[in-house]
Structure 1
Amino acid sequence: MSETVRIDSWLWATRFFKTRSLAKAAIEGGKVQIDGSKAKPSKNVQPGQTIAITKGTEHFEVIVEGLSSKRGPASVAQTLYQETEQSRSRREQSSEQRKLARAAAAAPDHKPSKKERRDIQRFKRDNLE
């Protein structure tokens, strides 16, 4: 029988999640799929399987290259999986969109004065009614 590792342990070892309990919570919340189907924390992974991980606004799609149940250096963790090219380009594109959205919503030059604050409060109060 080939070597297998629990998915929650593998996600922790590959540094997708900081703790195993966070990995378990994400799996139970439906944020992790193995080969397109919902996973359970005790599900074993094998090399060659495709894992889809949603973490906040980031969406990773990786192929299992190696197995480890021990957390090691980040350089070793990166050798345990291969991110698909489609996933990588999608993440870079969404990152660029977030940067552009942040740049468009520029911060004001100064803090509002007392009169400006009162005007803002009056404007909000009048528009809510």
Structure 2
Amino acid sequence: MTDAPRPQIRLDKWLWHARFFKTRTLAAKLVAGGHVRVNAAKTDKPARKVGPGDTLTFPQGHDIRVVRIIAPGERRGPAPEAQALYEDLTPIKEMPAKAPRYEGRGRPTKKDRRMFEQSRKGPLE
């Protein structure tokens, strides 16, 4: 019984297939900049081979994404197909509270505006 080789794909290509980046060039630039970790080890090679079971850590926007690869992917397909390529391990962030100065009551009154300005200045001014 021979073990079949683990299917692998280039890192930049997988990030593009999984729809984390709009273009493969953007994915390659992020990897080449040293901003991606594969199984906790930094890599700066877009051609590094990854496959099922590998864990990737990389920035996307203002967040740090942590994903485990489930499948290498054949093409850059629709979003549901792309989401089947990975398991998202990123911790869920709580939604920020609504801004305290506006509670949906319409336009603030002059009294509200004075209180807001006073709260911005602080007690010493």
TM-score normalised over the length of structure 2: 0.70
State whether residues 69 and 87 of structure 2, in contact with CA within 8 Å, keep that contact through their aligned partners in structure 1: yes
Match of 2:64 among 37, 49, 59: 59
Higher helix share: 1
| % identical equivalent positions | 34
**Structure 1 segments of 4+ aligned residues over 6 angstroms from their partners:** none
Q: 1:103 to 1:62 in 2, by over 3 A?
A: same
Is 2:14 the partner of 1:10? yes
Unmatched runs of 5 consecutive residues or more in structure 1: 111-129
How far did 1:16 drift? 0.3
What is the rounded CA distance, in whole Å, between the counterparts of 1:51 and 1:61 in structure 2? 6
What is the rounded CA distance, in whole Å, between the counterparts of 2:21 and 2:82 in structure 1? 12
Alignment of 1:53-92 (within 5 A): 53-84=58-89, 87-89=90-92, 92=93
Is 2:48 the partner of 1:37? no
How far did 1:105 drift? 7.5
What is the rounded CA distance, in whole Å, between the counterparts of 1:104 and 1:27 in structure 2? 40
State whether residues 16 and 22 of structure 2, in contact with CA within 8 Å, keep that contact through their aligned partners in structure 1: yes
Is 2:99 the partner of 1:103? yes
How far did 1:68 drift? 1.4
Paired residues in the alignment total: 99
- Give the letter aligned to residue 5 of structure 1: I
Unmatched runs of 5 consecutive residues or more in structure 2: 109-125
